Amino acid sequence: MYFKALIVLAITSAVQAAVLKKCSITCPDGSLASNVVCCKFFALATDLQTNLFDSGKCDEEVHEALCLTFHDAAGFLLVLAAQGLPV
């Protein structure tokens, strides 16, 4: 009984390890990503945290940036675009 459970666990772990290894790529800066297109965003995130947001501190600038992004996204409606209205 325990041996069967151990075999199932070993097979499941091997399959998951193979899938995870296949889905991740190493970017030029050493970061891991699931898609090569995502590599450019690691440099962007580092730049934003270092130069814009006081070395990664979560303060008022971060709050304002998140609020601006949220409010901008909340005002975007596909229905308006389909009707030819400005979005």
Catalytic residue among 4, 21, 22, 71: 71
> In angstroms, rounded to a whole number, what is the distance separating the alpha carbons of residues 86 and 5?
59
In the chain, which ranges are continuous DSSP H helix? 2-23, 39-47, 60-74, 78-82
User: Was 72 annotated as part of a binding site?
Assistant: yes
Q: Tokens at residue 10, please?
A: 């070993």
**Has 71 been annotated as catalytic?**
yes
Which residues are identified as catalytic?
Answer: 71
Per the annotation, binding residues for Ca(2+) are 72
Per the annotation, binding residues are 72
